[in-house]
Structure 1
């Protein structure tokens, strides 16, 4: 595990994950950073720069040119290794498994050796100090980059991940993560665990807005992100990807709930 300690970051920090090849959302997040006068060295991406959407190369280029801090997600790890799949561990035959075959294969064809080398060099874990507290940043979990950690998980899950993270970083007061696609703040026996949310897909709530977080003076604020949804949909159509995730961008609901715990699923009858 490659660990990078960023030192002391006491100004406002902008936190986001899951750009997912959504170039329009990526442009929007950096516009947010500019509007808030948050410099690139205070913008942290929790990984998965590419995935479901249709502009992987443009999205990688935008992230790299921004100069922001990027953590390796499972997609970066897998593409850097030229692996055969995204490494999410989707159950064989599920909708997520079927759809990942198409978007992952497309991303592999669009990213060159230079992009793969950049991904290979990304850290697996970050740490920093903000207003006297020490923060650790992981993609999914410290035990597994592709582990889905949910707000509804047991204290034992958070304890296992916290212990594994501290074995790498030393003592941590707060954990920041990504990967699962749903933002949350969970008060665990060890401290707060915060999922910063993703910008490339809506959080399965019927709203087209995606989301990010700002950490200011030790307090987190979750913020909705507006972007050019139809532009992202057009990119997916041009890439000839299955349009299931494009529909998800438009409706605000994921095309599959395969990875979600039962308690976080949304009944079809409850969808507007």
Structure 2
């Protein structure tokens, strides 16, 4: 990758929405290292949707991946009654309850302690660029910030209010990015736990490069990674998780969490 005469950039990897998909997590970690990432961060929601929630947590701990606390992590860690997902539709909440009950039942006491220890945000600087990692938005853990409904003015306001040049989020499950004024960047890193509702079974994570003495100083690349999604589907079925979840893994199309989607994002899907 060219850096236009400056020294080589520093590269980090960012992933979100693991949703217990430990097979995708392993694939992303391997790919990020192959791509030269010097550090990997996770933006939260380790459980939900998939099987064996402890496995993803064990992988993150093994690789010492710094992780932000998502709404799911907060709920499971503190033993709350629901996932704090922020859904309003009865059908979406039905599947959210099934997912939460399975995850809560199958998360060990050790893993719950780990989830309680996670910070609500992570901040750092690279070449003077202030980076903020959070789950939903800088102001609320479970806020949905969508590409089609978020004005650039609003995103710039949040970045300024929270003293960040680069704001990185997840929660919505659909990756996107927008360049803001003065070299700022808003980045939704997507979710690796399930495909981004586009008919492909591969998943997305983000690589973030920092270029000193250039503008913009940080540039993001959304990268697709394939994993053994058929094996995951078999394990989900064996764990008696909803067939609607399994269909998403096998087809790349969402069957749940649809009503929260704005019209533009939903129009891209099958349902």
Q: TM-score range by the shorter chain?
A: 0.7 to 0.9
Deviation track 1:199-237 (CA, whole Å, cap 9, x = no partner) reads 111111111111011112322111001100011111211
**Residue 54 of structure 1 contacts residue 238 of structure 1 at CA under 8 Å; is this kept in 2?**
no
Determine the structure 2 residue equivalent to 1:75. 72
**Residue 80 of structure 1 contacts residue 117 of structure 1 at CA under 8 Å; is this kept in 2?**
yes
Aligned-residue offset at 1:158: 2.3
Report the count of equivalent residues. 253
Structure 1 stretches of 4+ with a deviation exceeding 4 A read: none
d(CA) in 1 for partners of 2:261, 2:139: 19
Gaps spanning 5+ residues in structure 2: where? Answer: 1-8, 211-217
Describe the SS at the equivalent of 2:51: coil
Alignment RMSD: 1.9
| 1:100-249 pair list within 5 angstroms | 100-152=96-148, 153-155=150-152, 157-159=154-156, 161-162=158-159, 166=162, 171-189=163-181, 191-217=184-210, 218-249=218-249
Provide the TM-score with structure 2 as the length reference: 0.87
Provide the TM-score with structure 1 as the length reference: 0.87
Aligned-residue offset at 1:12: 1.4
**Residue 89 of structure 2 contacts residue 260 of structure 2 at CA under 8 Å; is this kept in 1?**
no
Determine the structure 2 residue equivalent to 1:262. 263
Describe the SS at the equivalent of 2:222: strand
d(CA) in 2 for partners of 1:81, 1:51: 15
Gaps spanning 5+ residues in structure 1: where? Answer: 1-9
d(CA) in 2 for partners of 1:163, 1:81: 31
Aligned-residue offset at 1:77: 0.6
**Residue 90 of structure 1 contacts residue 259 of structure 1 at CA under 8 Å; is this kept in 2?**
yes
Deviates more, 1:184-193 or 1:198-207: 184-193
Determine the structure 2 residue equivalent to 1:19. 18
**Residue 133 of structure 2 contacts residue 167 of structure 2 at CA under 8 Å; is this kept in 1?**
yes
Go from structure 1 to structure 2 and tell me whether the alpha carbon gap of 1:81 and 1:44 turns closer, same or farther (over 3 Å shift): same
2:244 corresponds to 1:251: no
| 1:34-45 pair list within 5 angstroms | 34-39=33-38, 42-45=39-42
